[in-house]
Amino acid sequence: AQSVAQPEDQVNVAEGNPLTVKCTYSVSGNPYLFWYVQYPNRGLQFLLKYITGDNLVKGSYGFEAEFNKSQTSFHLKKPSALVSDSALYFCAVRDGGNDYKLSFGAGTTVTVRA
Amino acid sequence: EAQVTQNPRYLITVTGKKLTVTCSQNMNHEYMSWYRQDPGLGLRQIYYSMNVEVTDKGDVPEGYKVSRKEKRNFPLILESPSPNQTSLYFCASSLRGDTEAFFGQGTRLTVV
């Protein structure tokens, strides 16, 4: 079985400070990892993914994430947070096998204060 | 414009009255999925489809049905809705299993 844990329900940071949203995963095979963001009353929007290759992945809106196989983590980071980054963030994983089961974490609410 | 369209956006219904939530994508994607979003639980996959006439269960399929007769459409059917199916539902599509998913705007369903 595959699963995702986002250990923090909420993350609060000041504008201009670094932002980190944590994610750990569990799969039996090779992980395909994704980050999505959800703004109020909207669907989810893709930020970035790790499939293979470089462990540091760069995505939309200045976000990046680092894949750490030994720690089974895929933390999302942004060097300088903006008020407009306030939203709900989801980490997701699927086992790179033959099915299309995708598991999401419970989500982390990010609040960036001016 | 590339998009996933769900209808209706909001629905209030009574227990036991069959309903269908439609989902259509215009990107010629192979893969489609349905999810439900509940507070504190994130998104949970209900069903997915990897091609026309190919569907499979996700993590929470009980009480739901799907069909994939055409590539663009993937309707979600609740034969006999119950109050525990009150939730926010999302349809999504992707080109392949290793590409990002595009999500619809969501359907907020209330079963009384």
Q: What digits encode the pLDDT tens for the residues B72-91?
A: 999 999 999 999 999 999 99
Q: Look at residue A47 in the predicted model and tell me its pLDDT.
A: 97
Give residue-wise pLDDT tens across range B54-76: 999 999 999 999 999 999 999 99
Chain A residues bordering chain B (beta-carbon distance below 8 Å): 4, 6, 32, 34, 36, 42-46, 49, 51, 90, 92, 94, 96, 99-107
H or E segment at B77?
A: strand B76-78
Check residues A39 and A99 and name the one with the higher pLDDT: A39
| Chain A residues in contact with B104 (beta carbon < 8 A) | 43
pLDDT at A79: 97
Cα separation, B44 vs A104, whole angstroms = 7
Rg value, chain B, Cα: 13
The answer to whether residues A5 and A27 touch, using CB atoms and an 8 Å cutoff, is no
Share of chain A above pLDDT 70, in %: 99
Cβ pair B45:A101 closer than 8 A: yes
Q: How distant, in Å, are the alpha carbons of A65, B39, B40 from that of A75?
A: 5, 22, 19
pLDDT confidence tier of residue A98, bands split at 50, 70 and 90 = low
User: Token pair 């994430």 is at which residue?
Assistant: A65
Minimal CA separation from B36 to chain A, in Å:
11
Do B105 and A105 count as a contact with CB atoms less than 8 A apart?
Answer: no
